[in-house]
Amino acid sequence: MSGNDILLVEDEPAIREMVSFALGRAGLQVREAEDVTEAQSLLADKLPDLVLLDWMLPGVTGIDFARRLKREEYTRELPIIMLTARSDEDDKVGGLEAGVDDYVIKPFSPRELVARIRAVLRRARPEPADEPLSVDELQLDPSSHRVLARGSQLEMGPTEFRLLQFFMSHPERVYSREQLLDRVWGRNAYVEERTVDVHILRLRKVLGPYGYDRMVQTVRGAGYRFSAKV
């Protein structure tokens, strides 16, 4: 559970400080934003494991932001816990419609908050990022950052590694260049779609001597797919 990255969006400095301190003690990493604009730029840097979102924020409200996050493909799976000062049923209904995962009503105890976060993370956890992946005799181990092809270690750049990791964990599905940029490079990457082709070529080159380059397939007019089938 440690090392989980929590994005806290809260405009009240005292609550931000209290929450950050409590989560830090629980071994969770916290990034803080005081409004939606700041939250969006932090999200673009790196997707957190969970968003703690204050209901009442200046500008765009927390609940509107939650709806937006649940609408976009890039952030749809992101678990959200709302922090709300109000407990009335209308809020709850609005939040449930927005797809929020849980609520914590202010004032809350740090212990309660940490327990709720852990529960949501346990439920959400879609795919452990560190799980070793293997297809045929191609193995990728995220924790040791190694790729083995029939037992031999392959040398590749960090982008090729992330690309291969993404492909191996999402096989048999076509991704457009734009989707790959979002998922592998992240939204803040100001790179052209052509960059994807460059790294695909490099990846194929590394996999080529073992014949695994055929798994990185071009799908005309659509993008790329990773498949063990020819």
Residues that bind Ca ion (CB under 5 A): 11, 54, 56
Asked if residues 84 and 55 have their Cβ atoms less than 8 Å apart, the reply is yes
Q: For residue 165, give the nearest of 150, 151, 144 by alpha carbon.
A: 144
Beta strands in the chain (DSSP E): 5-9, 29-33, 50-54, 80-84, 102-105, 133-135, 138-141, 146-149, 152-153, 174-175, 216-219, 223-226
Q: Using the minimum distance from each CB to Ca ion, give the nearer residue, 63 or 168.
A: 63
CB of 14 to Ca ion, least distance (A): 11
Cα 168–chain centre separation = 16
CB of 60 to Ca ion, least distance (A): 12
Residue nearest to Ca ion (CB): 56
CB of 11 to Ca ion, least distance (A): 5
The CA distance from 84 to 31, in Å, is: 19
CB of 5 to Ca ion, least distance (A): 22
